[in-house]
Amino acid sequence: MLYYQDNDVLIRNMAPGDAAIFTEGEIAQGWNASVDKYEMRLRDQAAGACVSLTAEYQGNPAGYVNVYREVKEGPFAGLGLPIIVDFGVLQKYQRRGIGSKLMDAAEQIASRYADSVCLGVGLHNGYGSAQRMYVKRGYIPDGSGVWYNGRPCTPYDTIYTNDDDLVLFLSKKLK
């Protein structure tokens, strides 16, 4: 399905061939990447649990995002809200508006399921651009604090690692 198109950017459902392209692109930029993540998103999409989007820039897969119908863990679990998961734009395609267009499409899809949407964002500097974008788009922290591996962090505890699993949850009213 096609969600957006202009002269440079096209947003569509993720296809099987995208998995290897994104994995190779992320490895090339020094990330710890595995095709398994994308294959899982494709299986979830086939099962109707999510919509997985790919943004193409001038015909090349450049970014991705997934919208799950319902949150399974974290502070929004069981509230019937959709969640935006695993958003990324390959570095060589950043600063072209691709991420904003992907988020527009993701929020439009999420609005089919509920009046609000949520997401979790990592806290290390690798997520800095995403953190800034989410705030500019109107996402606000839920107030439950920082989470690690699906559980809220205990104040003043020192056992957490500032890795991809240390997140802050945010939400946005869509309607």
Q: What does the DSSP assignment read for 31-73?
A: ----HHHHHHHHHHHHTTSEEEEEEEETTEEEEEEEEESS--S
Per-residue pLDDT of the chain (175 residues; tens, 9 = 90+): 999 999 999 999 999 999 999 999 999 998 889 999 999 999 999 999 999 999 999 999 999 999 999 999 999 999 999 999 999 999 999 999 999 999 999 999 999 999 999 999 999 998 999 999 999 999 999 999 999 999 999 999 999 999 999 999 999 999 8
Show the CA angle centred on residue 174, arms to residues 146 and 42, nearest 5°: 70
Q: Which CATH superfamily is domain 2-173 in?
A: Gcn5-related N-acetyltransferase (GNAT) (3.40.630.30)
Q: Is 47 exposed, middle or buried (0-12, 13-18, 19+ CB in 10 A)?
A: exposed
Question: So where are the chain's domains?
Answer: 2-173
